[in-house]
Amino acid sequence: MTHAPKLFPTPVLPIRLVALGRDQRGAVAIYAALLMTLVLALGVLSIDVGRMVILTTQIQNAADSAALAGATQLDGSSGSRARATSIATTAATRTSAITSTATAFSIASTTFYSSINPNVEATGDDNATYIHVVMNQAQLDIFMRPVLDLLVNTGAADNIVINAAAVAKYAPIVCNMPPLMVCDPTETLGASADLFDSANAGKQMIIKEPPGGGGLAPGNFGLLCTPAGDCGAAAVGNALAAVTPDGCTGTQVTTAPGSMTNQVKNGINSRFDTAAGTNNPARNVINFPRDSAISPSSTNILGAGDWDASTYWSEHHSSASLPGSLSGASRYQTYLYELGETYARNGMQTLYPAPATLPAGFSLVTGSTAVPTCSSYAGSLPVGKGKGGGSCDTSDPAYDGAPQSAAVNDPRRRVIEAVILNCTAQNVQGHGSYDTNGRFVQFFITETVPDPPDSAIFGELIGGVSETTSSKFHANVALTQ
């Protein structure tokens, strides 16, 4: 049988061409070239990522350092925000070799808040508690860009911009302080009553009002619960009496409502040796005169510092004239002088113990006179007291400064710390927890607490509590964001 011929015969390829199509020896080189390009790209990319991580860490560290440094200045005193900005600017300045131009980091802005979440911008130095630092952007050149353009022609950016910011809070603590608070007098008396203003050092203040007084805040008479959280009268009274009260007071305090008159009277008067107990008194328990325009019944809780030093000295030191180094001195400075202590003085501002390097305007004063006693009193005394025909009542601090019990050696036994609260702004009333804004002040207790209805605590303002003025103070700061 004969087959018809095919109209389209199957082509027959040359053997060499077929072999060439099956030859894969060149594919290895192509894959190797592509793989090497990819490895090179990944290597360059890893360098860029590493540089980016390092630069991000560097600028964030600069922001953190700036915020923490600035927060240390937010003590509520005048000019604190300006000081915080200045020291934050210095702390942020550092140079990175990774940036495109190798320039120093710098701060774009600083903002101050009284509270955060929600953020409430501070209205003044007194309520600036938080500092928000925003850094100027840092720029990083990308090594990978030419490789990316070669591979995929992406038109990749030449550089990466890195941002950084930080928020820090001023969060100091004061340890071993009595549970006392005062409402910020600037809320009712204006800026001139700023307790951090050095011009107010030496002025007398009613630290705790008596029952029936005007009331620092509704239901409050200047008392706090103890750091351990005990708000009972006995615990508060014991803390007021203690030579070294337990615990530390930080950014939050809890108010203890009520006057607790007897406990407060006994607690404070233990420092004067006129209350029963085992707490040792001060070495000098003499009462000092009051400022002319201050009394428990007065609405003016802050005096003018106009006590009569010359008359006091004449009456308690055998008619002697006031020493020249005590001219215009505060009661606290006079008290230290009577103890024979050395301190630094600038007007009514006092630094005790005196620092090795005195701030501008301060000079050293060394006391040389003994504690006043009944035998050195030269004034007119009630019947039964004083020199001459009467007998001297050595237990009365109005006339005799020498304690009958073993005294505490530390002259600061009559120095107390108190928290300043913005009672109006924070709506302080009754029992509640409130932010201290890290503000503490020191007072010198000028006299014993009398019986009701005049049982107030009178103190002479020494000034704000800081690392310079008290070893009890610890200037903690913390990052919050």
Pairing between β-strand 477-479 and β-strand 248-249 as defined by DSSP bridges: unpaired
Taking a C-beta distance cutoff of 8 angstroms, is the pair 235, 227 a contact?
A: no
pLDDT band at 163 (very low <50, low <70, confident <90, very high): very high
Kind and range of the H or E element at 207?
Answer: strand 204-208
Of 51-65, 213-227, 327-341, 423-437, highest mean pLDDT: 327-341
DSSP H helical ranges for 298-391? 309-316, 331-338
Helix, strand, coil content of the chain in percent (nearest 5)? 30, 20, 50
Q: What is the pLDDT of residues 72-112, one digit of tens each?
A: 899 877 899 999 999 999 999 877 777 666 668 899 999 99
More confident of the two residues 58 and 462: 462
Distance, in Å, from the CA atom of 439 to the CA atom of 137, rounded to the nearest integer, reads 35
Distance, in Å, from the CA atom of 334 to the CA atom of 288, rounded to the nearest integer, reads 10
Is the per-residue pLDDT at 255 higher than 80?
A: yes
Q: Which residues contact 455 (CB under 8 A, 6 or more apart)?
A: 210, 211, 259, 261, 264, 265, 296, 449
* pLDDT at position 127: 83
State the number of CA atoms in the 13 A half-sphere of 259 facing the CB.
Answer: 18
Q: What percent of the chain has pLDDT over 90?
A: 51
Length of the chain measured in residues: 481
**9-13, 68-72, 262-266, 464-468: least confident range:** 9-13
Taking a C-beta distance cutoff of 8 angstroms, is the pair 48, 142 a contact?
A: yes
Q: What is the pLDDT of residues 4-29, one digit of tens each?
A: 555 555 555 565 555 555 655 556 66
* pLDDT at position 138: 86
pLDDT band at 466 (very low <50, low <70, confident <90, very high): confident
pLDDT band at 328 (very low <50, low <70, confident <90, very high): very high
Q: What is the pLDDT of residues 23-57, one digit of tens each?
A: 555 566 666 666 665 555 555 556 667 778 888 89
* pLDDT at position 102: 61
The average pLDDT across 181-206 equals 92
Is the per-residue pLDDT at 414 higher than 90?
A: yes
**Both structure tokens of 137:** 């952007």
Distance, in Å, from the CA atom of 423 to the CA atom of 219, rounded to the nearest integer, reads 12
In the DSSP assignment, the letter for residue 223 is B
Is the per-residue pLDDT at 394 higher than 70?
A: yes
In the DSSP assignment, the letter for residue 217 is B
Domain spans of the chain, in order of start:
33-170, 173-474
Dmax (CA) for the chain in angstroms is 170
Distance, in Å, from the CA atom of 72 to the CA atom of 70, rounded to the nearest integer, reads 5
Q: Which residues contact 362 (CB under 8 A, 6 or more apart)?
A: 344, 345, 346, 349, 351, 354
Side chain identity, residue 253: V
The average pLDDT across 406-432 equals 93
Asked, as a colleague might, if the bond just before 353 is cis with ω within 30 of 0, I would say yes
* pLDDT at position 204: 96
pLDDT band at 432 (very low <50, low <70, confident <90, very high): very high
* pLDDT at position 282: 96
Q: Which residues contact 389 (CB under 8 A, 6 or more apart)?
A: none
Distance of CA 344 to the CA centre of its chain: 23
Q: Which residues contact 461 (CB under 8 A, 6 or more apart)?
A: 195, 200, 201, 202, 203, 204, 205, 441, 442, 443
Sign of CA dihedral 88, 90, 95, 99: positive
Asked, as a colleague might, if the bond just before 218 is cis with ω within 30 of 0, I would say no
Q: What is the pLDDT of residues 232-253, one digit of tens each?
A: 999 999 999 999 999 999 989 9
CA angle at 329 for the pair 327 and 333, rounded to the nearest 5° = 130
Distance of CA 300 to the CA centre of its chain: 28
Q: How many CB atoms lie within 10 A of CB 117?
A: 8
* pLDDT at position 34: 60
In the DSSP assignment, the letter for residue 209 is P
Is the per-residue pLDDT at 374 higher than 90?
A: no
The average pLDDT across 288-314 equals 86
Distances (CA, A) of 465 to 71, 211, 246, 269, 442: 16, 28, 18, 23, 6
**Both structure tokens of 427:** 């709506």
* pLDDT at position 467: 82
Distance, in Å, from the CA atom of 239 to the CA atom of 232, rounded to the nearest integer, reads 11
The average pLDDT across 198-224 equals 81
- Name the phi and psi angles at 252, rounded to 5: -125, 135
